Amino acid sequence: MVSAAAERFPDGESDAADPEDIADRRLRRGARSRKAVTRHAVDIASAEGLYGLSFGRLADDLGISKAGIQTLFRTKEQLQLATVDEALTVFVDAVIRPAAPEPAGAARLRAVVERWLAYASEPLLPGGCFWSANLAEFDSRPGAVRDALAQQHRNWLAVLAAELRTAVASGEIAPLDPDLAAFQLAAVLTATNIALRLDDPDAVGRARRALDTLLAPPR
Amino acid sequence: MVSAAAERFPDGESDAADPEDIADRRLRRGARSRKAVTRHAVDIASAEGLYGLSFGRLADDLGISKAGIQTLFRTKEQLQLATVDEALTVFVDAVIRPAAPEPAGAARLRAVVERWLAYASEPLLPGGCFWSANLAEFDSRPGAVRDALAQQHRNWLAVLAAELRTAVASGEIAPLDPDLAAFQLAAVLTATNIALRLDDPDAVGRARRALDTLLAPPR
């Protein structure tokens, strides 16, 4: 999913001056506009929900024409899906990629959780965690947007479970069910996002203590 | 909070025929209308969020005049607060009160969790758990509604922590931090609500296994 999102929204400039590349440059320009719009849409949706997105609101905020945004996305659902995809790019860059150099297992899991706490605390997005807000909003609304959010959430659980599985297999931590523990950890982080939004001063410390209960050393 | 809610929305009929009681009967009739409106508002808000509530929508759904509903609640915020209060009454009747006869500690906690799983699974409310939807929606919107939801959530954590504390003190379960474990359990239940909405067939089983990890017997 990560590389698919990166390919769909290329950031790099083309060096080509060749006339054959004009169409390509136009496509890239369109992709950059799309990225600027979706990045702002991620900010809105993290605070107010995907449901509140509209072409008119985005056009007003970004000072561009509503017709131009409609040309880029066509339907509100397409806009929501592009926003969900862009949110993943933001998340991977902030949380997953920086933790990748750590050794697999408990160390990488701790790095992921620390990055996640920074992502939700700073917050990188105005409403904190994008999925905390939007999964709760869309879980009762069947459709492509709900499916995309749910798939991303399953991928997140799989990332956490993989590190837990490694930590158990290598004897770093006491035996546990990696899928169950991943679910418990993701649940704690979602609840921590709400605690942060409610200005609970113990939110980060409590999340770390909850992680410690999962990463107990073997006896 | 429970008894306050019950007193504010009395269900009982008055037997009095005495003219002095006309004003009292009128008040009771107003309270019943208020309860009918707020009960429907709880259904809407559990599925679509408190933010989506409106006098017009409620009037249409219930076949009563918008002016009549406005007279009962005056402002949208008052309507939201009355809805939050009524949701608590529904929750206490479904989850807390039926578990009260169980012995304090692990048995009562298991009964609360089973009742909670039924409340979220059936679901008693169309959108599943009222707080899962609305805390995530309101956590970035400071004000009286957010404060009321946050206070109810703290009370819920306190209910769970009290049973955990009793279970630890009596030696029923292995030592743990009751407040941390209550937070972890509430987080798991909120995540379970989303899993249920997403038709995850393992949602209930996984929640029970997560509870078992907290209620491990002492070694």
Q: A189-211, pLDDT tens digit by residue?
A: 999 999 999 999 999 999 999 99
The alpha-carbon gap from B14 to the nearest alpha carbon of chain A, in Å, equals: 40
Average pLDDT over residues A9-13: 38
Please tell me the predicted confidence (pLDDT) of residue B19: 63
Please tell me the predicted confidence (pLDDT) of residue B17: 60
Model confidence at A12, in pLDDT bands (50, 70, 90)? very low
Please tell me the predicted confidence (pLDDT) of residue B49: 84
Tens of pLDDT, residue by residue over B170-209, are: 999 999 999 999 999 999 999 999 999 999 999 999 999 9
The alpha-carbon gap from A42 to the nearest alpha carbon of chain B, in Å, equals: 15
Task: Determine, for residues A191 and B186 on separate chains, whether the beta-carbon distance falls below 8 Å.
Answer: yes
Task: Determine, for residues B48 and A186 on separate chains, whether the beta-carbon distance falls below 8 Å.
Answer: no
Q: Are A130 and A95 in contact (CB under 8 A)?
A: no
Model confidence at A20, in pLDDT bands (50, 70, 90)? low
Residue in chain B lying closest to A195 (CA)? B139
User: Measured between CB atoms, does B48 come within 8 Å of chain A?
Assistant: yes
H or E element that contains B129: none
Task: Give the three-state DSSP class for A173.
Answer: coil
Tens of pLDDT, residue by residue over A150-191, are: 999 999 999 999 999 999 999 999 999 999 999 999 999 999
Among the partner-chain residues B139, B186, B197, the one whose CB lies closest to the CB of A139 is B197
Instruction: Tell me the C-alpha distance between A73 and A39, whole Å.
Output: 14
Please tell me the predicted confidence (pLDDT) of residue B123: 87
Predicted structure pTM score:
0.86
Instruction: Tell me the C-alpha distance between B175 and B216, whole Å.
Output: 9
Residue % of chain A over a pLDDT of 70: 91
Please tell me the predicted confidence (pLDDT) of residue B20: 64
* Helices assigned H by DSSP within chain B: 2-8, 22-48, 55-62, 66-73, 76-91, 106-121, 130-138, 144-169, 178-197, 203-214
Task: Determine, for residues A128 and B140 on separate chains, whether the beta-carbon distance falls below 8 Å.
Answer: yes
Task: Determine, for residues A137 and B137 on separate chains, whether the beta-carbon distance falls below 8 Å.
Answer: yes
The alpha-carbon gap from A17 to the nearest alpha carbon of chain B, in Å, equals: 47
Please tell me the predicted confidence (pLDDT) of residue B47: 82
Residue B105 burial (CB < 10 Å; 0-12/13-18/19+)?
buried
Q: Give the contacts of B121 (CB within 8 A, at least 6 positions apart).
A: B196, B203, B204
Which residues in A lie closer than 8 A to residue B206 (C-beta atoms)? 180, 183
What mean pLDDT, rounded, does chain A reach?
89
Average pLDDT over residues A131-145: 87
- Is the preceding peptide bond at A123 cis, omega within 30 degrees of 0? yes
Residue A201: C-alpha distances to residues A196, A197, B176 (Å): 8, 10, 21
Among the partner-chain residues A135, A184, A193, the one whose CB lies closest to the CB of B210 is A184
* Helices assigned H by DSSP within A63-143: 66-73, 76-91, 106-121, 130-138
Which residues in A lie closer than 8 A to residue B192 (C-beta atoms)? 187
User: Measured between CB atoms, does B204 come within 8 Å of chain A?
Assistant: no
Listed as ranges, residues in chain B with pLDDT below 70 are 1-17, 19-20
What value of ipTM does the predicted structure carry?
0.85
Tens of pLDDT, residue by residue over A21-77, are: 777 787 777 778 888 999 999 999 988 889 889 999 999 999 989 998 999 999 999
H or E element that contains B201: none
Model confidence at A17, in pLDDT bands (50, 70, 90)? low
Q: Are B206 and A183 in contact (CB under 8 A)?
A: yes
